[in-house]
């Protein structure tokens, strides 16, 4: 009889389980839902997806949300002008304004919720975390 081979090759074994990061435990303990935390961008990520995640987190600031809401109302009122096209009303919509900038040294303060903790974990290598 032949010996059965292991299904997992040594090249595929990893030291950390899926989803675990190598960040210190002290950094993980700071993110409790409902707490206000200030993040500072220590290094700009090279991947556009990570930059987009940071920009999405920055847009959660109340001041930025107010500005985006006001700009949205202005676009609906002034910029997005409806016109007739093919017998129907057509609106050529303008792009949204980016009020946030992902740059080294930029900081933002948000209230941590359980829904955004995975997003924060995915880009925590590029952020420094400080309590408010």
- Determine the pLDDT at residue 85: 93
The residues, ordered by sequence, that sit 6+ positions from 42 with a Cβ below 8 Å of its Cβ are: 104, 126, 127, 128
- Per-residue pLDDT, 26: 45
Where exactly are the structural domains of the chain?
31-76+84-131
Q: What is the pLDDT of residues 38-74, one digit of tens each?
A: 999 999 999 999 999 999 999 999 999 999 999 999 9
pLDDT at 2: 58
Q: Return the structure tokens found at 2.
A: 């032949």
Instruction: Give residue 80's pLDDT.
Output: 92
Quote the pLDDT of residue 7: 56
The pairing of beta strand 82-85 with beta strand 107-111: unpaired
* DSSP code per residue over 7-41: SS-GGG--SS-TT-----HHHHHT--TT-EEEEEE
Torsion sign (Cα): 121, 48, 43, 60: negative
Q: Please tell me whether residue 131 adopts helix, strand or coil conformation.
A: strand
Task: State the pLDDT at residue 28.
Answer: 54
Query: Would you say the C-alpha torsion 29, 31, 37, 42 has a positive or negative sign?
Result: positive
CB-CB contact of 105 with 40 (8 Å): yes
Positions in the chain short of pLDDT 70: 1-29, 132
Q: How far apart are CA 84 and CA 32, in angstroms?
A: 52
């Amino acid at each position: 009889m032949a010996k059965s081979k292991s299904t997992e090759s040594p090249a595929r074994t990893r030291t950390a389980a899926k989803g675990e990061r190598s960040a210190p435990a002290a950094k993980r303990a700071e993110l409790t839902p409902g707490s206000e935390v200030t993040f500072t961008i220590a290094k700009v990520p090279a991947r556009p997806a990570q930059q987009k995640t940071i920009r999405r987190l920055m847009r959660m600031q109340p001041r930025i949300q107010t500005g985006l809401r006001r700009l949205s109302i202005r676009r609906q009122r002034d910029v997005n002008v409806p016109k007739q096209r093919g017998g129907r009303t057509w609106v050529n919509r303008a792009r949204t304004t980016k009020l946030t900038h992902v740059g080294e040294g930029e900081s933002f303060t948000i209230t941590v919720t359980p829904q955004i903790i995975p997003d924060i974990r995915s880009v925590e290598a590029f952020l420094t975390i400080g309590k408010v």
